[in-house]
Amino acid sequence: MALVPVSESGYQGDGSVVSEREDFGLVGPLHLTTIDWKNPDHRRSVAACVVQGVYIIERDRQEKRLGPQALAPPWWNFCNFQLHRQLVDDADQSVFGAIYQFSPECNHSAEGCPKYVIAFRGTVTKGDAFTRDVELDVHFIRNDLHRTSRYEAAIQAVRYVVATFGSSNVWLAGHSLGSAIAMLAGKNMAKTGVFLESFLLNPPFVSAPIEKINDTKVKSGIRIASSFLTAGFAVALKNNTQKNRSVDTFVALSAWLPSLFVNPADHICSEYIGYFEHRKRMEGIGASGIEKLATQHSIGGLLMNAIGGKEYEEPLHLIPSANVIVNLTPSPNFKDAHGIHQWWRPELQLDCKTYQFR
């Protein structure tokens, strides 16, 4: 598809507003002339681009860019995907996700590629979708994202793809709020024995920003104290039925290895670095048993269960296993550190570790 020229003023010929960050020809991964589906850098870049495609679908909708004026298609066409279905939020009719299908005519390059990708965008700061997105952000912070109609539409889409086409070679992908939706869907599918390959870009972590503390000893001390406190609550307030259900669910999730892409300069997701590294540190001081108990619970969840309140969903960040990919490339500001564009840039300085709960 030919790209529509953009004037210096940022307007297309039809008068709609265009940001150069939406234009694949200006900011896309043009270095990826051929996709090697076994190359983790290429796979990461593709996952980020199809999520970016969802962002641009929504921007196309807001700006009424149709046909050859639409900027979204190049974001998935370059890697031989086609749009199978848009996912629309029934509260405001905004597009929050998409199902992509690998183009069947491109079988010559299909080895190792996903057959389908289900992608979810994060919060948009422009247009009429902003209010609804902020509302979803609040639901995430309150830990009841699972009770929203957007998540219900998302999990229905995931179940549809798995039931119709099978779970083999199906990816989940998301950025920011979208990665929270993808993680929640992935966790719930994993509980049923379906483990989907997941690319979670800048996944949000609701917690005090301990990772921002520069003093390593102070930071470590706070995490150790928190682990002992949480484990103590788990023992003191345990209800055998609840405990067994929680532990069984956590163990069942341990075979799912989502890939978490985080930036240490992004306080929204950087806590995942310390969350997983702390487990290793606890093993080193001979407190692995304490940490295994603490990592399966949150103090809020334990208290809610103890007082017999409404059914409490444990925070999304309580996951047993993950591939954690940290972007160590310096970021000039928070916007860049949290932005999706970083994940398809070439020659990133990445630290990749696998944490497997046993």
Report the pLDDT averaged over residues 254-274. 94
Per-residue model confidence (pLDDT) at position 8: 34
**Is residue 346 within 8 Å of residue 29, measured between CB atoms?**
yes
Report the pLDDT averaged over residues 241-266. 79
* Distance between start and end Cα atoms, the chain: 49
Q: Say whether pLDDT at 7 is over 90.
A: no
Which is it for strands 170-175 and 259-262: parallel, antiparallel or unpaired? Answer: unpaired
259: β partners: 199, 323
Average pLDDT of the chain, as a whole number: 83
Global confidence as pTM: 0.84
Q: Say whether pLDDT at 149 is over 70.
A: yes
Alpha-carbon dihedral sign for residues 346, 82, 125, 260: negative
100: β partners: 83, 117
Per residue in 275-318, pLDDT (tens digit) is 888 766 656 555 555 555 556 655 555 555 555 555 556 778 88
11: β partners: 17
Nearest 5°: CA angle at 173, between 95 and 281? Answer: 135
Distances (CA, A) of 67 to 64, 73, 193, 320: 10, 10, 41, 45
- Is 210 exposed, middle or buried (CB count within 10 Å of its CB: 0-12, 13-18, 19+)? middle
Torsion angle in degrees (nearest 10) through CA of 155, 156, 160, 161? -30
Which of 118, 126, 72 shows the shortest CA–CA distance to 97? Answer: 118
**Is residue 291 within 8 Å of residue 282, measured between CB atoms?**
yes
Report the pLDDT averaged over residues 135-142. 94
**Is residue 117 within 8 Å of residue 173, measured between CB atoms?**
yes
Q: To which residue do tokens 């503390």 refer?
A: 213
Percent of the chain with pLDDT over 90: 61
Which of 101, 104, 136 shows the shortest CA–CA distance to 119? Answer: 101
Pairwise pLDDT comparison (99 vs 251), residue with the higher score: 99
Q: Could you give the CA distance from residue 323 to residue 40 in angstroms, rounded to a whole number?
A: 12
Q: Which amino acid is at 78?
A: F
Per residue in 71-95, pLDDT (tens digit) is 999 999 999 999 999 999 999 999 9
Per-residue model confidence (pLDDT) at position 201: 98
Which pLDDT band holds residue 242 (cuts at 50, 70, 90)? very low
Per residue in 322-354, pLDDT (tens digit) is 999 999 999 999 999 999 999 999 999 999 999
Highest mean pLDDT among 96-100, 163-167, 206-210: 96-100
Per-residue model confidence (pLDDT) at position 293: 56
Q: Say whether pLDDT at 5 is over 50.
A: no
Pairwise pLDDT comparison (97 vs 226), residue with the higher score: 97
Distance of CA 177 to the CA centre of its chain: 7
Q: Is 60 helix (H, G, I), strand (E, B) or coil?
A: helix
Tokens of 93: 């009719």
Per residue in 182-240, pLDDT (tens digit) is 999 999 999 999 999 999 999 999 876 665 666 666 655 555 556 555 555 556 656 44
Report the pLDDT averaged over residues 121-137. 94
102: β partners: 81
**Is residue 305 within 8 Å of residue 296, measured between CB atoms?**
no
Query: Residues in the chain, how many?
Result: 358
> Residues with Cβ < 8 Å from 268, sequence gap 6 or more?
176, 202, 204, 205, 338
Tokens of 202: 């800048």
In the chain, where are the structural domains located? Answer: 20-210+254-292+320-355
- Is 2 exposed, middle or buried (CB count within 10 Å of its CB: 0-12, 13-18, 19+)? exposed
2.115.10, 3.40.50, 3.40.1130, 1.10.3470: CATH of 20-210+254-292+320-355: 3.40.50
Per-residue model confidence (pLDDT) at position 103: 87
